[in-house]
């Protein structure tokens, strides 16, 4: 049931029909879920209070995660650059061999496989790759 005028859990509980609890196991599972929901709500309340009382800890944590995102972005950028360099080298060696030249790669050199590396850059530099950005 979707109601446009329901904005809180309590309002939803007021308009929703009572749960169908047919067995003792259903009732036990329902009770356990209700307990978990209450624990989660209390945890959110306590964390909000902690953030209000300790803004310096919140600032420190935000700085820490900002630094981690910068390091991860830098690392990914370096990895992409290295991949492009390896592919370019392998492609140049293949072109050299194709025109009758001699490569400094040996026949069984694993670097020949770098020709097949994907260097498509469909990533955004601002995208840090994690899905936790909505937790900030």
Please give the Cα distance from 97 to 56 (Å, whole number): 62
Q: Would you list the DSSP string of 28-84?
A: HHHHHHHHHHHHHHHHHHHHHHHHHH-HHHHHHHHHHHHHHHHHHHHHHHHHHHHHH
Enter the pTM of the model. 0.52
The CA-based dihedral angle spanning residues 14, 20, 23, 24, taken in that order and rounded to the nearest 10 degrees: -10
> What mean pLDDT do residues 35-48 have?
96
* Mean per-residue pLDDT over the chain, rounded: 85
Would you state the pLDDT for residue 136?
A: 47
User: Cα(45)–Cα(30) distance, rounded to whole angstroms?
Assistant: 23
Per-residue confidence (pLDDT) for residue 6, from 0 to 100: 82
Q: Is the pLDDT of residue 134 over 60?
A: no
């Amino acid at each position: 049931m979707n109601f446009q005028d329901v904005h809180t859990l309590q309002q939803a509980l007021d308009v929703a029909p009572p749960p169908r609890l047919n067995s003792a196991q259903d009732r036990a599972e329902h009770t356990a879920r209700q307990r978990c929901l209450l624990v989660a709500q209390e945890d959110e309340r306590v964390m909000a209070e902690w953030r209000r009382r300790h803004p310096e800890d919140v600032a420190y944590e935000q700085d820490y995660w900002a630094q981690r995102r910068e390091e991860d972005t830098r690392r990914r950028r370096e990895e992409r650059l290295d991949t492009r360099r390896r592919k370019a080298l392998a492609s140049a060696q293949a072109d050299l061999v194709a025109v009758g030249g001699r490569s400094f790669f040996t026949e069984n050199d694993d670097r020949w496989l770098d020709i097949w590396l994907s260097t498509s850059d469909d990533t955004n530099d601002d995208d840090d790759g994690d899905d936790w950005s909505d937790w900030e």
